[in-house]
Amino acid sequence: ISRLLGCLIGVPREHRGIFSICVSFSNTIFIGLPLGIALFGDAGAPYIMIYYMVNTTLFWTIGFHDLASSNGVTMPLFSRKTLKSIMSPPLMGFMLGVVMVLLEWNLPEPVFKSFHYLGSMTTPLAMLFIGIAMSKTRWEEIAVGKELVVAMLGRYLICPWIVFLILPFFHLEPMMEKVFVIMAAMPAMTNTAIVAKGYGGDYKYAAMLTAVSTVLAVFAIPFYMWLVH
């Protein structure tokens, strides 16, 4: 759908990969995880990580390939580099946690408490990170046009509503359904600008879409929280 939207509104070839990524993929770690825990409590964390696993895998394969291809770089869909990117510390930590739960391994109490204190820092640190990123955005460089408007409609209207409308067909747990809708309504991934710069793309364009989507999240997330409840 994001590719089709890009073609319909005439997004330049060098911007299509970035445009598709911003519409399709959510920021599920820096913003999604702390906000999700703040909204749903620790019970929502496993479902956030499930969404994160799929979101990240698709970003570093299909999304990564599209972005590189739109800038004339030949990039295999699966490579050692993409595998390394997928196997990030949050994902590895989640997988290790799943193994420990299944095997019923309990950490020593001092270690468990130390990890709990570190985990409780996630939300405030993430909020500081978001605030710093937004404060460094040069708003005068933001060009309001059809690409920006359609990208934001795709991110905050099309993507969450697709999830919202198909969920009844899967009969998932209510908490999982709520988490998936909220994760689909998160801002665009911050990695987009970094990857775009690495492959000669218009990283300023990517940063602009990410910054605007982060600001709009202030309005979108409360609306979708009201909707799922």
Q: What is the DSSP string of 157-188?
A: IIHHHHHHHHGGGT---HHHHHHHHHHHTSPB
Q: What is the pLDDT of residue 125?
A: 75
CA distances from 214 to 91, 119, 130, 163 (A): 23, 23, 8, 20
User: Can you name the residues that pair with 26 across neighbouring β-strands?
Assistant: 188
Distance from C-alpha of 128 to C-alpha of 141, rounded to nearest angstrom: 23
Separation CA 194–CA 177 (nearest Å): 31
pLDDT at 75 exceeding the cut of 70? no
pLDDT tens across 155-173, in order?
999 999 999 999 999 999 9
pTM to 2 decimal places: 0.80
Q: For 83-106, what is each residue's pLDDT tens digit?
A: 776 677 777 887 888 888 888 888
Mean pLDDT taken over the chain = 85
Q: pLDDT tens-digit profile of 3-38? A: 999 999 999 888 889 999 999 999 988 888 888 988
pLDDT at 79 over 80: no
* Segment 177-193 mean pLDDT: 91
Q: How many other C-beta atoms are found inside a 10 Å radius of the C-beta of residue 123?
A: 15
| Percent of residues, the chain, with pLDDT higher than 90 | 34
Q: What is the pLDDT of residue 87?
A: 75
pLDDT interval class at 221 (50, 70, 90): very high
Fold classified for 2-228? Na+/H+ antiporter like fold (1.20.1530)
Arithmetic mean of pLDDT, 96-117: 88
Residue 32 CA to residue 127 CA, distance in Å, equals: 11
| Choice between 132 and 205, residue whose per-residue pLDDT is larger | 205
Q: Considering only residues 33 and 151, tell me which one the structure prediction assigns the higher pLDDT.
A: 151
134 has a pLDDT exceeding 80: no
